[in-house]
Amino acid sequence: MGRFLGLLVALVLGLGALGVLAQEEDDPVKEAEKQKQQLLEQSGGILPSDLYVQQGEELFKAKRGPKQASLEACDFGRGPGRLEGVVGRLPRYFFDTRRVEDLDSRIRTCMIRLQGFRPEEIRRSEVVAIAFYIASLSNEKTMYVRPLLPQEKQLYELGERLFYLRAGPRDMGCASCHVTYVGRRAGVLPYSDLLGDKRVASHWPAFRYSNDQAWTMADRIRACYANLGMPAPDFYSEPIIALTLFMNAQARGARMDLPGFIR
């Protein structure tokens, strides 16, 4: 099965690469839509993100880890096993861990608690695939992240402060580009309007057709730091969760496009 999936991925991605060479639209949303249609036509209706979703579903339902348990009892905020729309309310506070968790860190929590994995045994690629599966069950649902509990409000405020923080040899800060230079380009894509455009934070996790990557919001945040020569915050760490909470709350009311399909 794994090999078949790999071949299928390679095939679809190869076709995708051909598509990328075609004439580009100026509007990145329109361009992504065009690429998506081309890929769908070439592959007979399968997107690379569908393969991640399928892989994630298999991982989610399989009995794995030292405890030989599936993740089906994992509570993403609506109760054990209830997955529809949960991405629209993450990050949120969980009483069992006494932490605000995002999609990635909640998956990790359940892999540790339900399946008995040690933290260092958790493979990033598996978390991403499972995130794609759960995201697929929130597609077209509404983003309604709203910090309500004190822990959520506090982390939201810290996320906002971190968003405006500038540091490092390049004076890096999220807001310097994503507020001040919205719509301008440094490279291929214009800077997205994180505060004004609700679509921006409501399409993660997403498949990036230009370089065949499956990314969650954590990967996106880490790449932003890395692009400016900054060390990125660790996966599953609080700075990532705080920034995600701040950004997702800006997207409140958006109809989620999941998994996203972007350049």
Partner 1 sequence: MRRSYLISALLLVGLASGQPGATYITPELQRLIQAGGQNYANVLLKQAPDQALCSIHRNRLPPEVLGPFIEEQRRLIKYPEGGRLMGDWKRGEAIYNTLARGNCFSCHAGSPLNIGGNVGPSLEKYGQRGTSEAVQRYTYEVIYNPWAYFPCTVMYRFGHGGLLKPEEIADVVAYLLDPSSDFNTKPALRR
Closer of 31 and 257 to partner 1 (Cβ): 31
Smallest gap, in angstroms, from Cβ of residue 127 to partner 1? 17
Smallest gap, in angstroms, from Cβ of residue 80 to partner 1? 28
User: Where do the DSSP E strands lie in 27-81?
Assistant: none
How far apart are the two ends of the chain, measured CA to CA in Å?
A: 28
Closer of 63 and 170 to partner 1 (Cβ): 170
Q: Is 224 a catalytic residue?
A: yes
Contact 250, 198 (CB under 8 A): yes
Q: Is 30 in the site for partner 1 (CB under 8 A)?
A: no
Distances (CA, A) of 214 to 47, 117, 166: 12, 23, 28
**Of 43, 51, 159, the residue nearest 100 (C-alpha):** 159
Interface with partner 1 (CB under 8 A), residue from 34, 153, 198, 252: 153
HSE, CB side, 13 Å, CA atoms: give it for residue 248.
33
15, 172, 224, 232: which one is catalytic? 224
Q: Is 173 in the site for partner 1 (CB under 8 A)?
A: yes
Q: Is 25 in the site for partner 1 (CB under 8 A)?
A: no
Backbone φ and ψ of 92, nearest 5°: -145, 165
Smallest gap, in angstroms, from Cβ of residue 160 to partner 1? 7
**Of 177, 173, 199, the residue nearest 28 (C-alpha):** 199
Residues that bind partner 1 (CB under 8 A): 153-155, 157-158, 160-162, 164-171, 173, 175-177, 179-181, 184-187, 191, 225, 230-234, 237-240, 242
Q: Which residues are catalytic?
A: 224
- Detail the residues annotated as belonging to a binding site for substrate: 220
